[in-house]
Amino acid sequence: MDIYEKYQLKHVINADGKMTILGVSKVSDDVVAAQKLGAQNFFEMADLVVQTGQYVAKLVGAEDGLIVNSASAGIAQVIAGLIGQGSLYHVYHPYTDRITKREVIMPMGHDVDYGAPMDVMLSVAGAKMVPAGYANMCTPEHLAMQITDQTAAILYIKSHHTVQKSMLSIPAAIEVAHQHGLPLILDAAAESDLTKYLKMGVDVVVYSGAKAIEGPASGVVFGKARYIEWARLQSKGMGRAMKIGKENIIGLTQAIEQYLQVGPETGEHMRARLEPFVADLQQIKGLTVSIAQDGAGRPIYRASVKTDRASEICDQLRHGQPAIYAREYRVNEGIIEFDIRAVDANEMAQIVTSLKNIMEG
């Protein structure tokens, strides 16, 4: 039986992007084969975690690495590790009053909901979030003035979800952190460059394994050996609830190796695939269509559709057969975006047909 029929699921065309709500990415046959190899064999799990972490760290030029079950888990375990600093008492009593250095400073415009609120993940780690600056502005001075003797780290979120304007750069945040003897933790969950931020001097970088890397459900943390060791120690405590299976550890290791050899789809290639799709959409009366770059400056290009029926169209697309999920972040401005990274030519044709049927009634 077809999997959609068996579980009574909608057939989905994902033109939203590498989104958790839609299962993030498609994995390659090589990654699936690596998962199978992992699933059908036994390992000393502690050794598997250490050895795969060190292996992928070497590939990107980091001191050490840790494969976890998601970027969120990576953030929670890294922050918890920085609070506990290797203390086994903290591992067994993560929310103890005996450890008071729990403040994590983050630009106010970075406290976003990425599927869960960022401050919730810090609470899971036992941290107290300290916002710096304002919703529409954060300078190095704003960051520095929040530092106290209770500050454990500075957290920076590199994401299209965050406020982009009047925001201090990553190098500026690193400078503030290091001037005060603090680590700079970077949430780069959806970023595509696995070496850039380490070269900048970021102390710990957290990536989603299932987004740009196109691995299985997972996350990976790269950084200074001491901080990675502290994060790894959390598997004996709160990290136990976030453990990752052997099949996904092996699968992500393969995906990272493959990703570093092949790389993501280039912006130029994306634009070339978009051009005939955009040309077809431009033939539909009532739509103004162009190619637009990602709002956070990433080399990602999408079809941008402007219409006074944006909300209604998205609703009809989601409830169609197949269900088409577009990017709806700017629907309030009358703009729908179609991300084609996981969309092939046949699916683009289906999107064009569905939009034409909606617009023509």
Per-residue pLDDT tens digits for 187-218: 999 999 999 999 999 999 999 999 999 999 99
Is the bond preceding 322 in cis, omega lying within 30 degrees of 0? yes
The amino acid at 172: A
Phi/psi at 344 (nearest 5 deg)? Answer: -95, 180
Q: Is residue 282 very low, low, confident or very high in pLDDT (cuts 50, 70, 90)?
A: very high
Asked whether the beta carbons of 313 and 282 are under 8 A apart, the reply is no
- Residue 18 in this model has a pLDDT that exceeds 70: yes
Q: Which pLDDT does position 160 carry in this prediction?
A: 80
Domain range annotation of the chain = 3-21+265-359, 42-262
Task: Centre a 10 Å sphere on the Cβ of residue 58 and count the other Cβ atoms it contains.
Answer: 12
Residue 75: the pLDDT is 97
- Structural contact between residues 96 and 268, judged by C-beta atoms closer than 8 angstroms: no
Burial of 286: CB neighbours in 10 Å, binned 0-12, 13-18, 19+: middle
Average pLDDT value for the chain: 94
Write the pLDDT tens digit of every residue in 260-274: 999 888 999 999 999
Asked whether the CA dihedral 199, 24, 50, 236 is positive or negative, the reply is: positive
Q: Model confidence over 100-147: pLDDT tens digits?
A: 999 999 999 999 988 889 999 999 999 999 999 998 999 999 999 999
Cα–Cα distance between 85 and 230 in angstroms, integer?
6
The whole-number average pLDDT for the span 303-307 is 96
Report the alpha-carbon distance of residue 129 to residue 136 in Å, rounded. Answer: 18
Whether domain 42-262 has CATH 3.30.300.30: the reply is no
Residue 161 confidence class, pLDDT cut points 50, 70, 90: confident
Which pLDDT score is estimated for 233?
Answer: 97
**What is the average per-residue pLDDT within 288-314?**
92
For domain 3-21+265-359, give the CATH number: 3.90.1150.180
pLDDT level of residue 164 (50, 70, 90 thresholds) = confident
Burial 248-268 (b: 16+ CB within 10 A, else e): bbbbbbbbbbbbeeeebbeee
pLDDT at 80: 98
**Confidence band of 159 (pLDDT split at 50, 70, 90):** confident
Decide: 321 and 310 in contact? Cβ < 8 Å: no
The pLDDT-based confidence of 162 (bands split at 50, 70, 90) is: confident
Question: Is the pLDDT higher at 295 or at 122?
Answer: 122
Return the pLDDT at 101.
Answer: 96
Helices H, strands E: what count in the chain? Answer: 14, 12
Q: How far apart are CA 156 and CA 334, in angstroms?
A: 31
Q: How confident is the model at residue 1 (pLDDT cuts 50, 70, 90)?
A: low
Percent with pLDDT over 70 in the chain: 100
Cα-Cα-Cα-Cα torsion 268, 272, 273, 274, nearest 10 degrees, comes to 100
What distance in Å separates the CA atoms of residue 235 and residue 46, rounded to the nearest whole number? 10
- Is the pTM here over 0.85, yes or no? yes
- List the structure tokens of 333: 């401005």
